[in-house]
Amino acid sequence: MRAFARSIVETVRHPLLVLDAGLRVIAANAPFYHSFPGEPAGTEGRRLHDLGGGRWDIPALRGLLERVIPTGVHFEGLEVDHEFPGLGRRQLVLSARVVRGDDDPAPMVLLAIEDHTNRLRSRDELRWANAALEERVAARTADLAAANRELREANRELAAANRELEAFCYSVSHDLRAPLRAIDGFSRELLDAYADRLDDQGRHYLTRVRAGTQRMGQLIDDLLNLSRVSRAEMCRERVDLTAMAEAVVGELRQRDPGRRVAFTARPGLAVDADPRLVRVVLENLLGNAWKFTSRRPEAAIEFGREEHRGRAAFCVRDDGAGFDMAYADKLFGAFQRLHPDREFPGTGVGLATVQRVVRRHGGEVWAEGEPGRGAAFYFTLPGPGDPS
């Protein structure tokens, strides 16, 4: 009988017990001892409810097992949630039926045990995780909704600020220009019509007045341009930067035909960008290179693409006055100038405009230079406008 019982249990992967009519253990398989540690000597021949110091003393299970042999009724899928001393809480699914050996008609009970503890624990953990995830999603959704409301409010405030800026720009371009034109015009009339009544000092004063009003007019123009590039709607298209740079330098040559400047542009440079805004960048950078090389009898200006610190960037390079890198962080601020106006005139707004255009395209701009040995201005136009 024991050999028959053992042949049964050893072929099953789940814990399995063979019990006699008195619910004494005839045989137990290795998975049973793995799940419910014990020794065969302390298991076989003992009643089920006495095993492990009474850990299997489960009244409902005992009652069912005691009826299996007398009635011949089996049970399957009995769920048992029980605290096993020393092992913790286990969730088991039990099945039992009567079996008989060929050489011994004595009935036996075959008790199959499936331990669903880990699976149910995983299910509970998954349920808890899902609940926690749902809470986080709900919280994140609420945060996102609040952020969207704040963004809409910020957009309304920005639109209002833009309208105010447009009104201010209109006022600047009309209300301030009129008195400037009047000052410049009357000063010119005084110089032309009353020159014989003015001494040298008087003429000098009027010339200074005219120069100041003209500089103020240029400053107004530059500020308006800075405002426009910040607010202008962008429209990307394929731009031939090489041809655009050559056109800008051609215009510079027409305005200053006496200059001897060797200009080279790398062929085939193109980018996806707003052509109007990118031209502003090239006009300012090439214009600066033209201006700051003006004291050289023969100057050199280059436009190309270079690998710089692991990044591909467009570059305008010159061999002009250069600048001290200690002040490089001031280059792109409005009204920041590193050279006296008497040496190289300007308003200090051009590079601020360049930076604003490049950032609107999602790029960066930076510069390197050395006093007396020229400067290089780099800019990137990422995304669809990566240098090509």
Q: Which two tokens stand for residue 354?
A: 């360049």
Q: Quick one: 341 and 248 in the same domain? A: yes
Minimal CA–CA distance to 388: which of 273, 293, 296? Answer: 273
DSSP annotation string for 33-85: HHHS---GGGTTTSBGGGGGGTTT--HHHHHHHHHHHHH---EEEEEEEEEET
**217-226: average pLDDT:** 65
Q: Quick one: 353 and 312 in the same domain? A: yes
Residue type, 366: W
pLDDT digits (tens, 9 = 90+) for 257-291: 888 999 999 999 999 988 888 888 898 899 889 88
Q: What CATH number is given to the structural domain containing 380? A: 3.30.565.10
Number of domains in the chain: 3
Minimal CA–CA distance to 215: which of 25, 107, 342? Answer: 342
pLDDT digits (tens, 9 = 90+) for 135-171: 888 888 888 888 888 888 887 887 676 666 666 666 6
Q: Quick one: 242 and 371 in the same domain? A: yes
Residue 27: is its pLDDT beyond 50? yes
Q: Quick one: 266 and 369 in the same domain? A: yes
Q: Band of the pLDDT at 232, cuts 50, 70, 90?
A: low
- Which helix (H) or strand (E) element contains residue 216? helix 200-231
Which pLDDT does position 264 carry in this prediction? 93
Which pLDDT does position 388 carry in this prediction? 44
Whole-model pTM: value is: 0.50
Mean pLDDT of all residues belonging to the chain: 81
Q: Among 115, 150, 180, give the residue marking a domain's end.
A: 115
Residue 6: is its pLDDT beyond 70? no
Q: Quick one: 296 and 338 in the same domain? A: yes
| Rounded-to-integer distance, Cα 37 and Cα 143, Å | 52
Sign of CA dihedral 300, 340, 201, 178: positive
DSSP annotation string for 305-350: EEEETTEEEEEEEE-SS---GGGGGGTTSTT--SS-TTTS---S-H
Query: Which phi-psi region, left, alpha or beta, contains residue 53 (left: φ > 0; alpha: ψ -120 to 50)?
Result: left
Spatial contact of 251 and 376, defined as CB atoms under 8 Å apart: no
Residue 99: is its pLDDT beyond 90? no
Q: What is the domain range of residue 208?
A: 117-231
